[in-house]
Amino acid sequence: MAFVDKTTALIPRRVPDRQALERCRIISHRGEHDNTNVMENTLQAYDIATAAGVWGIEADIRWTADLVPVICHDTSPARVFGIATAVSDLSFAQLRAQVPLIPTLQEVIDAFGGNTHLMLELKAEPRPQQAGQREILQTLLAPLAPARDYHILALDPALFEQVDFLPKNCLFPVAQTNVALLSRLSIERAYGGLGGHYLLLTDRLRQCHEAAGQRLGTGFPGSKNCLFRELNRGIEWIFSNNAVEMQSVRDQHLAMLSRSVQ
């Protein structure tokens, strides 16, 4: 993937037209982080992204032993914070004491809900408690409008059972190598669209999903040329680990086009 990204970054692309730049919606993947000074999936990482005008933030939902939804990508905080105990084995009080930077879903909603688009990814749990999780999510998400204020992401569409109270167009499966399968399911079940790597989500797939009234979201453009590649082929949602930089590129070129018209 690193080789593909470096190669894509070297291929010149024409500047997208004004409409493509205006339609562009950049999503900060786990917030603007380097996992040295600013850690992923933290309020600080999301603050940096939103302060730069980034449209959306992506956050990964896991559950503590006492069913508090928190924002953490891995099963444990080991990779980012050096704590090897699984999130699901800790009460929220224990997790907060050991890793205070991991926010709750409630804290993310309180800070950003309604002013920043939330892309909330459900993660598979070792001991799912679907009924309790469903009720908690329904309560937390109630102040927000589905599809307008947030979408729910999942690598496995079976996880959408946790949020079966939501309209289908709010649900957004994310493909890894199973692109054909998830593309077909997304269209058959009238989900909101499909996410995946920019090379795997081909123009043929884009046309199929556009015909079904759905969006594609591609990750993870991190260079101007890769961003322009996606915008030039009609992609609106751009998930990026360099969202602040990509937002700046988009904003600068949109301003340049506006000045040229004047």
CA distance 89 to 107: 21
Tokens of 227: 């961003």
22-39 pLDDT tens trace:
999 999 999 999 999 999
Give the Cβ contact number of residue 82 at 10 Å.
10
Per-residue pLDDT, averaged over 77-99, amounts to 98
Residue type, 99: V
pLDDT at 167 over 80: yes
Cα→Cα distances 45→24, 100, 102, 141, 222, Å: 21, 14, 11, 21, 17
The pLDDT confidence band at residue 135, using thresholds 50, 70 and 90, is: very high
- Residue 27 DSSP SS3: strand
CATH number at residue 68: 3.20.20.190
pLDDT reading at 262 higher than 70: no
Residue 159: predicted pLDDT: 96
Distance CA 40, CA 242 (A): 12
Question: pLDDT tens digit string along 198-249?
Answer: 999 999 999 999 999 999 999 999 999 999 999 999 999 999 999 999 999 9
pLDDT level of residue 260 (50, 70, 90 thresholds): confident
Secondary structure string (H, E, C) spanning 190-231: CCCEEEEECCCCCHHHHHHHHHCCCEEEEECCCCHHHHHHHH
pLDDT of residue 112: 98
**CA angle, corner 212, sides to 150 and 23, nearest 5?**
50
Asked if omega into 220 is within 30° of 0 (cis), the reply is: yes
Residue 143 backbone dihedrals phi, psi, to 5 degrees: -70, -15
pLDDT band at 121 (very low <50, low <70, confident <90, very high): very high
- Residue 166 structure tokens: 């939501």
Interacting residues of 83 by C-beta distance below 8 A, sequence separation 6+: 76, 77, 98, 99
Would you tell me how many other CB atoms lie within 10 Å of the CB of residue 228? Answer: 22
3-21 confidence digits (pLDDT tens): 999 999 999 999 999 999 9
Alpha helices in the chain (DSSP H): 2-10, 18-23, 43-51, 78-81, 92-98, 105-112, 130-141, 179-188, 203-211, 224-232, 243-261
Specify whether the CB–CB gap between 61 and 37 falls below 8 A: no
Do 54 and 25 form a contact (C-beta atoms < 8 A)? Answer: no
Q: Which two tokens stand for residue 30?
A: 């786990």
Domain count, the chain: 1
The answer to whether residue 126 scores a pLDDT higher than 70 is: yes
Question: In Å, how far are 98, 100, 248 from 93, measured between CA atoms?
Answer: 9, 10, 39
Q: Whole domain around residue 98: which residue ranges?
A: 2-261
Could you identify the residue written with the tokens 């204020």? 149
